[in-house]
């Protein structure tokens, strides 16, 4: 039996939320991120792709798009697919 591919099984809304959080952590506007993605992918930029739709969970990114975004946002694919522990700021709030 074949193992499910995480990109096909992860909730697109959850992935979109994590993509948006990664973009904001990188201090990029959605327009800046799109511009960087277009430069990174060149002619491999998918027709009809919008970061708004990705972040809203309305569209699933192709693997090469997700890899490019993780580089642009300086995060790992693991960060995008797996729940992260609380941030230091969140831990301090509970102290």
> Binning pLDDT at 50, 70 and 90, where does residue 58 land?
very high
pLDDT of residue 36 exceeding 60: yes
CB-CB contact of 7 with 60 (8 Å): yes
Residue 53: per-residue pLDDT: 94
pLDDT of residue 64 exceeding 50: yes
Closest to 46 (Cα-Cα) out of 35, 38, 54: 38
d(CA 82, CA 29): 23
Helix axis angle, 30-41 to 63-72, nearest 10°: 120
Class of residue 40 by CB neighbours under 10 A (exposed 0-12, middle 13-18, buried 19+): middle
pLDDT of residue 94 exceeding 70: no
Residue 95: per-residue pLDDT: 42
Report all structural domains of the chain as residue ranges with CATH numbers, in order of start: 10-94 (1.10.260.40)
- What is the mean predicted confidence (pLDDT) over 49-75? 93
């Amino acid at each position: 039996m074949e193992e499910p591919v995480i990109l096909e099984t992860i909730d697109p809304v959850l992935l979109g939320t994590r993509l948006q959080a990664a973009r904001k952590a990188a201090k990029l506007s959605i327009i800046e991120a799109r511009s960087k993605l277009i430069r990174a992918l060149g002619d491999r930029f998918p027709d009809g792709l919008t970061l708004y739709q990705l972040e809203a969970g309305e569209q699933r990114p192709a693997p090469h798009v997700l890899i490019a975004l993780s580089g642009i946002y300086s995060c790992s694919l693991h960060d995008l697919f797996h729940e992260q522990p609380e941030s230091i700021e969140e831990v301090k709030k509970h102290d």
